[in-house]
Chains A and B, each alone.
Chain A
Amino acid sequence: MHADFKAVADHALLVIFADSISPEAHAAVVALDKVMAANPPDGVIETVPALVNLLVSFDPVATDHDAIETAVRNRLKGLQTGRVAGVQRSVQICYEGEFAPDLDAVARATGLSTDAVINAHLAGDFQVLMYGFSPGYAYLSGVSGHIQVPRKPAPVRDVPAGSVVIAGPQCLVTTLTMPTGWSIIGRSPTRILTGDPSHPFLFDVGDRVTFERIDLAGFMRLSKQGDT
């Protein structure tokens, strides 16, 4: 498996698999990330998987860029980067009323009925690509081509936490009240920030995600459970 290496300041190395996004490059990122976690080189503090590259952050007093590059090259030899068998996670979503302010606009933009938009979203083959932007913001790939819409020209403020938003091929479940230019198509009671100290984030990069439709009553019930 070929990779390029770039020093980042005194304490990190960027392992680059490709210049543009592809499923193969991301599969290589996830595969290397798992090998690094299973067999961490001396001095490594953390690894950060992204779309086409993996950042390896290290203690510059304990090791250096050359030693980390050698360790990564050794782990890349014979690395299997087929479809990553990520854990399957499920996320509940309610597409009703005020929870889905952009559902009609997505339907108009794609020439579908709102039911067809919902069904296309539920049929998506979602995978966690990376986290970013804010704590717990997990970017999911796999939005069906039938409902891919561009970002809005201007972000909307104060979008509530738990909003399920889409833009292009990506989907995410927000964790904080934030502005977003993505289309808001539903609300989830599922906590990405779980509050469980032993497993504080619901997903790992590479996990598979299925959305499960719930109605408003189901949403209220699950939200209450989440609060206790």
Chain B
Amino acid sequence: MSDATFSVQFAGPLVTVQDGGRPGNMRFGVAASGAMDPLAFAAANAALGNAPDVAAIEVSLGGLVLHCTGGAVTIALTGGDFIVNHADQKRTSWTTLTVRKGEKLSIRAGKAGSWAYLAFCGALQTEDWLNSQATHAPSGFGGGALHSGQTLKIADAELRDDRLGDIDRPDFISDGPIRVVTGPQDQHFASEALTRFLSDPFQVTDAYDRMGMRLKGPELHLNDALSIPSEPIIRGSVQVSGDGVPTVLFADHQTTGGYPKIASVISIDTGRLAQFRAGRMFGFSALTSGTAIEEVRRFTARKKRYLAKIAVARGTLEQRLMSENLIHGCIYE
């Protein structure tokens, strides 16, 4: 095994190194960070046979262009429907391919989705912080944001012909409303505000980054001017500012804050919401905390089976042709 190197020819804003994140540090003001769409991130690693939380690159709508300057490595691309161009050939996302010295790989926004994941069969070499390479974008701590001219090194880069090809997309992601558990300050909102929150459509605005997503929709009035003592925030908290505008908090959220929270998005729906783009309309629906846990457990079991399935190497081209022949019972000359 040897190293592969890439030169960053272009990196849009918020193209960052991410891994499984650094949970356990919220008490020190540090959000877990990690991928905005954890399932797509885990799928990219699984398709290469990597451990699920190995560092990868999260590509924003700004896009990324890499030039391979040394070695070769098999990579996986998942996430939104981004447009991938490899060695002058157009490819779809949710694929694995091998990039070799002299080749260019560009990943740019396609017709849907806000975040794509680029994982490597090898170890992406970056800074780490608190035992994680995940970038906390507001501070820049961790692996960091990519910038033009930078060199990326993949240690122990592998070529895996037996893993090339399209990656099955998960087929168990809900396409209904974004599910929340109401509260913890729902009782402070006018009853009409809670009703409208759960029945009216909201629109994603362009005030959206790794910290949070501001929404446009009905004003969510409080019963009275509420000043709550600053309290803990989670990824998925829906906080409402004084002007009645909701913001959903994401991977790099502040850990405490004084805005009341009308609801919290359940953990398995934050990644789905994160893939929405400015202009997208959607609705919220409420679950009890007990139902939310049932849904999360069901999703987690399916996710585990799905990742295990895509982690199985499909064999080399020769092996695949052999198995096709056996299945279909005919011989190709």
A residues neighboring B (CB under 8 Å): 6-12, 14, 16, 19-21, 33, 45-55, 57, 60-61, 64-65, 130-139, 176, 197, 200-201, 205
Contact = CB atoms under 8 A, between A and B. Distances in A.
Given A9-B266, A10-B292, A131-B255, A50 B231 contact: yes
Interface stretch (B44-52, B107-115, B133-141): B133-141
Main secondary structure of the interface of B (DSSP, over half): mixed
Q: How large is the interface on B (under 10, 10 to 19, 20 to 34, 35 or more residues)?
A: 35 or more
B24 A46 contact: yes
B59 interface: no
B24, B181, B228 interface centre (most CB from chain A within 10 Å): B181
Given A10-B293, A14-B184, A64-B290, A131 B27 contact: yes
Given A11-B234, A57-B26, A65-B290, 12 more contacts: A7-B181, A10-B296, A12-B232, A12-B264, A14-B231, A20-B229, A47-B27, A50-B231, A55-B231, A131-B28, A137-B29, A139-B230
Contacts of B138: 134
B236 interface: yes
B292 A9 contact: yes
Given A8-B183, A131-B29, A50 B229 contact: yes
Contact of A7 (B136, B183, B232): B183
Contacts of A64: 289-290, 293
Contact of A135 (B24, B28, B266, B267): B28
A158 B272 CA distance: 35
Contacts of B181: 7-10
B217 to A, nearest CB: 20
Given A9-B266, A20-B229, A132 B23 contact: no
A48 B293 contact: no
Contacts of B98: none
A135 B141 contact: yes
Instruction: Tell me which of A10, A54, A130 has the highest count of chain B C-beta atoms within 10 A of its own C-beta.
Output: A10
Contacts, number: 136
Nearest to A130: B256
B231 A9 contact: no
A48 B229 contact: no
Contact of A61 (B28, B265, B266, B300): B300
Which of B130, B136, B184 gathers most chain A CB within 10 Å? B184
B30 interface: yes
Given A9-B236, A46-B24, A52 B231 contact: yes
Contacts of B289: 7, 9-10, 64-65
Q: Report, nearest first, the 4 A-B pairs whose CB atoms are least far apart.
A: A132-B256, A131-B29, A55-B232, A7-B289
A201 B292 CA distance: 34
A54 to B, nearest CB: 8
Contacts of A137: 29
B231 A136 contact: no
Q: Which of B23, B30, B237 has the most C-beta atoms of chain A within 10 angstroms of its own C-beta?
A: B30
B305 interface: no
Contacts of B297: 60-61
